[in-house]
Amino acid sequence: MDLFLSTYENKLDAKGRVSVPAPFRAVLDRNRSTLYIYKSLTLPCLEGCGPARISQIVDAIDEMDSLSKEAEILQTMLFSAQEMKIDSDGRMLLPAEFIAFAGLDGMALFAGIGRSFQIWRPDRHQNREKDTRQQASTQGVPRLTLGRRGALGDS
């Protein structure tokens, strides 16, 4: 399974073009996938994924009461999603609305988080990482079951 992993910083030009990291483009190319970008529901960043992840979100919404607040919240991701075109130089053009939402200013940090990735203003991502690591240090790591071998975070 192809995953989006690691972090990469790329320059955002005055027109809003940014290079999609080569390893991320490779994941999309191997899967012959379209790239979708949408505004995060809970964080000041953008999120990116292929159609398989979008389908998972749609399937999750379909399992809910279509009139519920939970379905409405998740639908917000879908109506902000845009299909992105990657040019021959590996760049995509981010809409001004997306740039403003994430507060991108000259640089964009791509953070792979598995089946999707996030696009952050670098200083905001650094602060989030620092806060998350501090929280893990003081409050512990959430329980994560890894197959039959046990769980990360068990004492």
Strands (E), 50-140: 82-84, 91-93, 107-112, 117-120
Would the pTM of this model clear 0.85, i.e. be above it? yes
Is 55 domain-assigned?
A: yes
In a domain, 118, yes or no: yes
Residue 1 lies in a domain: no
The pLDDT assigned to 111 comes to 98
Q: Along the 155 residues of the chain, how does pLDDT read in single tens digits? A: 689 999 999 999 999 999 999 999 999 999 888 999 999 999 999 999 999 999 999 999 999 988 889 899 889 989 999 999 999 999 999 999 999 999 999 999 999 999 999 999 999 999 999 999 999 999 988 887 877 654 455 44
Question: What letter would DSSP give residue 45?
Answer: S
Q: Residue 148's pLDDT is what?
A: 60
**How many structural domains is the chain composed of?**
1
Residue 123, sorted as left (phi over 0), alpha (psi -120 to 50) or beta, turns out to be: alpha
In the three-class reduction of DSSP (H, G, I as helix; E, B as strand; rest coil), residue 148 is classed as: helix
- For strand 7-11 and strand 82-84, is the pairing parallel, antiparallel, or unpaired? unpaired
User: Is position 145 within any domain?
Assistant: no
2 in a structural domain: no
**Residue 116 forms part of a structural domain:** yes
**Domain containing 128: what range?**
7-138
Q: Report yes or no on 51 lying in a domain.
A: yes
Residue 103: its pLDDT value, please? 98
Other Cβ atoms less than 10 A from the Cβ of 5: the count is 13
CATH number at residue 90: 3.40.1550.20
Does 148 map to a domain? no
What confidence score (pLDDT) does residue 155 get? 47
